[in-house]
Amino acid sequence: MNLFVANWKMNMTRAQARAYAEELGSRIGDGSDGAELVLAPPFTAIEAARDPRGRWSLGAQNLSEHAAGAFTGEVSGAMIAEAGCRYVIVGHSERRTLFGEDGPLLSRKLARAREAGLVPIYCVGETPRERAAGSTAAVLARQVEALGDDPTDRPIVVAYEPVWAIGTGLAATPADSASAAADLRELLSPRRDLRVLYGGSVNPGNARQLLASGGVDGFLVGGASLEAATFAAIAGAAIA
Ligand code: PGA
């Protein structure tokens, strides 16, 4: 089933999340046939974004590399799972570039996610400079090394998010997406339950084409997920 994840980033108070959930619920009615929807709010709005009818599930945007203890300001996988999340985003490019998260750290976060029973949404993608140098495939191969110790018999979601496409309005072409998705499926071929997403300036106008020819199972959506109507329209592209 196609998977659509709304990455709200550092947006949405609890009140805004409640209003969004109400709007999304009214847009999708009895459910979104053929599409699995996930909202990834800030930690504080996870509970407010919950759907009592279970038409979408929840994800966190980050987790601690530690299980518990004296780590002021951190949030553990167990806390996230207990708050009602099924998923957790690991290795988003903003975490990599703004917060210096690298492969070894991300491996530890993946392990904590598994211990908590969370399904990781592991993000990869090349920078503009890496793309210009023609090293996209090498970058993806290096970034998936963080999954080396992750059990291959568990479900995993890998999001191809080229850094140059995130928040720029310049989405990858379906051909770019298809090429990266094929590389990722090859790199992760022992895995039986792998879904590959595309992320980076997805909107209702490009969603259908990217889904039809981009070689992916859905999207990780940032800016365009901040309006429930727009997020529902993107998911609607799959069902159409
Ligand atoms: P964008 O962000 O849709 O705003 O480009 C995607 C992401 O960062 O996951």
Give per-residue pLDDT as tens, 28-79. 998 777 799 999 999 999 999 999 999 999 999 999 999 999 999 999 999 9
CB of 200 within 8 A of CB of 161? yes
Measured at the alpha carbon of residue 31, what is the angle toward residues 30 and 32, in degrees to the nearest 5?
Answer: 145
pLDDT of residue 155: 98
Q: Which residue has the least CA distance to atom 6 on ligand 1?
A: 222
Question: Which of the listed CATH numbers 3.30.460.80, 3.20.20.70, 3.40.640.10, 1.10.260.40 matches domain 2-239?
Answer: 3.20.20.70
Listed by start position, the domains of the chain span: 2-239
Q: Is the CB of 199 under 6 A from ligand 1?
A: yes
Q: Is the CB of 125 under 6 A from ligand 1?
A: no
Parts of the chain with a pLDDT under 50: none
Please state the pTM of the whole predicted model. Answer: 0.97
pLDDT of residue 30: 87
pLDDT of residue 119: 98
User: Which residue among 5, 7, 92 is best mutated to probe the pocket of ligand 1, counting the most ligand atoms within 8 A of its Cβ?
Assistant: 7
**Which of ligand 1's atoms lies nearest the C-alpha of 203?**
3
Compute the distance between CA of residue 58 and CA of residue 40 in angstroms, rounded to an integer.
Answer: 6
| Residues that are catalytic | 92, 161
Compute the distance between CA of residue 87 and CA of residue 37 in angstroms, rounded to an integer.
Answer: 11
Ligand 1 centroid–CA 70 distance in Å is: 32
pLDDT of residue 206: 96
Q: Is the CB of 170 under 6 A from ligand 1?
A: no
CB of 219 within 8 A of CB of 4? yes
Of residues 62, 66, 120, the one with CA closest to residue 96 = 62
Q: Is the CB of 224 under 6 A from ligand 1?
A: yes
**Which of ligand 1's atoms lies nearest the C-alpha of 225?**
3
Ligand 1 centroid–CA 193 distance in Å is: 24
